[in-house]
């Protein structure tokens, strides 16, 4: 199943190499919120990733059942479920922690509407991570990502354990959607259709850089506008179709597994593993935007190198101009919550 995560022949070869050289590397991954809509398929996919050696599934409800079920999949990773009182055992020794805990959107809600509930969930999980696995790589899925990543960082700063190279907001679903939607228009194979998405993870803060993708050549005018809009608001299609029962869970589980696979390949020493992800970033710091998603090279210690955004078209510059003020507000809201609570 290594190929499930690989996007090209080159990537497939590299993944195989990483697999053989990673036999020594013990990679314990903890999923917090593992009983939920995202947590379940994500945990299943992580169980099928040959680089994951141990899975620790935690939730305030349901994790032992999910773990018992997934543990019967005949791959080598061990798999154990933990309930609320056991968060310390769940996190002990974890090198990667993935966090899809929290409430999802209902029709008509923005991601920011989730702030009140999810901010305190992420804050409390951050406290537990600071205590039990301060050196782990942390991947935040809980929305609003633009605010929950800064919240997590502030808790780690208070605890004196913050390492900006080890904290990631997972924006991979925006990359996955861009690839799918663009391929649909151009009739290409999504695996050869890769789009860099920068900015943040909600509405207008999502900025796809279609001008940097050969496959997008010729998509212009209204078709371009519609595509950008669909990438920025694709999550709403799922929220509406699920009609009040949740938001993207299966595609997010897939996207989360892709990101964790890339992260571990980087940790295992594979070179040139690059994913867009929302991290503490110098790119727009001078404009007061402390966290920003752009292509990030992943390595043994997490963030190896933050790539600049590169050449933007005039349309993309406009999208970025609309993104930055919103992003700045979302970040400030997270920081304020964490420092005042």
User: In the complex, which residues of this chain contact ligand NAI (CB under 6 A)?
Assistant: 32-33, 35-39, 59-61, 100-105, 114, 118, 121, 124-125, 141-143, 145, 170, 173, 201, 246-249, 252
Q: C-beta of 103: minimal distance to ligand NAI in Å?
A: 6
The pairing of beta strand 291-299 with beta strand 274-280: antiparallel
Q: C-beta of 178: minimal distance to ligand NAI in Å?
A: 13
Query: Which pair of tokens denotes residue 21?
Result: 């050289």
Closest to 31 measured CA to CA, from 80, 75, 103 = 80
Burial class of 72 by CB neighbour count within 10 A (0 to 12, 13 to 18, 19+)? exposed
Whichever of 215 and 258 has its CB closer to ligand NAI, that residue is 258
Q: C-beta of 66: minimal distance to ligand NAI in Å?
A: 9
Q: Which of 72, 132, 201, 307 is catalytic?
A: 201
Whichever of 15 and 252 has its CB closer to ligand NAI, that residue is 252
Q: C-beta of 256: minimal distance to ligand NAI in Å?
A: 8
Q: C-beta of 40: minimal distance to ligand NAI in Å?
A: 8
Closest to 279 measured CA to CA, from 260, 304, 300 = 304
- Is 201 among the residues known to form the active site? yes
Whichever of 11 and 173 has its CB closer to ligand NAI, that residue is 173
Distance CA 197, CA 295 (A): 8
Whichever of 177 and 194 has its CB closer to ligand NAI, that residue is 177
Whichever of 50 and 64 has its CB closer to ligand NAI, that residue is 64
Closest to 132 measured CA to CA, from 34, 49, 28 = 28
Nearest residue to ligand NAI by CB is 36
Q: C-beta of 39: minimal distance to ligand NAI in Å?
A: 6
Q: C-beta of 338: minimal distance to ligand NAI in Å?
A: 16
Whichever of 22 and 277 has its CB closer to ligand NAI, that residue is 277
Whichever of 139 and 324 has its CB closer to ligand NAI, that residue is 139
| Residues catalogued as catalytic | 201
């Amino acid at each position: 199943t290594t190929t499930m995560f690989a996007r090209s022949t080159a990537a497939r070869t590299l993944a195989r190499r990483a697999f053989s050289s990673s036999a020594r590397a013990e990679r314990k991954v903890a999923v917090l919120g593992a009983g939920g809509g995202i947590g379940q398929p994500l945990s299943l996919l992580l169980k099928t990733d040959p680089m994951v050696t141990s899975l620790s599934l935690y939730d305030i409800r349901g994790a032992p059942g999910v773990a018992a079920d997934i543990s019967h999949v005949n791959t080598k990773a061990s798999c154990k479920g933990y309930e609320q009182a056991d968060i310390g055992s769940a996190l002990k020794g974890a090198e990667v922690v993935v966090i899809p805990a929290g409430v999802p959107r209902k029709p008509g809600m923005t991601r920011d509407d989730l702030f009140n509930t999810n901010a305190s969930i992420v804050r409390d999980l951050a406290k537990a991570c600071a205590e039990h696995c301060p050196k782990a790589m942390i991947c935040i899925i809980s929305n609003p990502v633009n605010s929950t990543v800064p919240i997590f960082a502030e808790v780690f700063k208070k605890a004196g354990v913050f390492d900006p190279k080890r904290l990631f907001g997972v924006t991979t679903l925006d990359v996955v959607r861009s690839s799918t939607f663009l391929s649909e228009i151009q009739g290409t194979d999504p695996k050869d259709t890769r789009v860099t998405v920068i900015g943040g993870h909600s509405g207008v803060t999502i900025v796809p850089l279609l001008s940097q993708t050969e496959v997008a050549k010729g998509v212009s005018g209204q078709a371009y506008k519609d595509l950008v809009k669909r990438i920025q608001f694709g999550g709403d299609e799922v929220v509406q179709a699920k009609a009040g029962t949740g938001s993207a869970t299966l595609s997010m589980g897939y996207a989360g597994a892709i990101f964790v696979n890339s992260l571990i390949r980087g940790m295992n020493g594979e070179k040139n593993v690059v994913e867009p992800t929302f991290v503490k970033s110098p790119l727009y710091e001078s404009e007061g935007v402390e966290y920003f998603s752009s292509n990030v090279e992943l390595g043994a210690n997490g963030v190896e190198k933050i790539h600049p955004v590169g050449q933007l078209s005039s349309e993309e510059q406009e999208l970025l101009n609309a993104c930055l003020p919103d992003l700045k507000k979302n970040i400030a809201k997270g920081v304020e919550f964490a420092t005042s609570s």
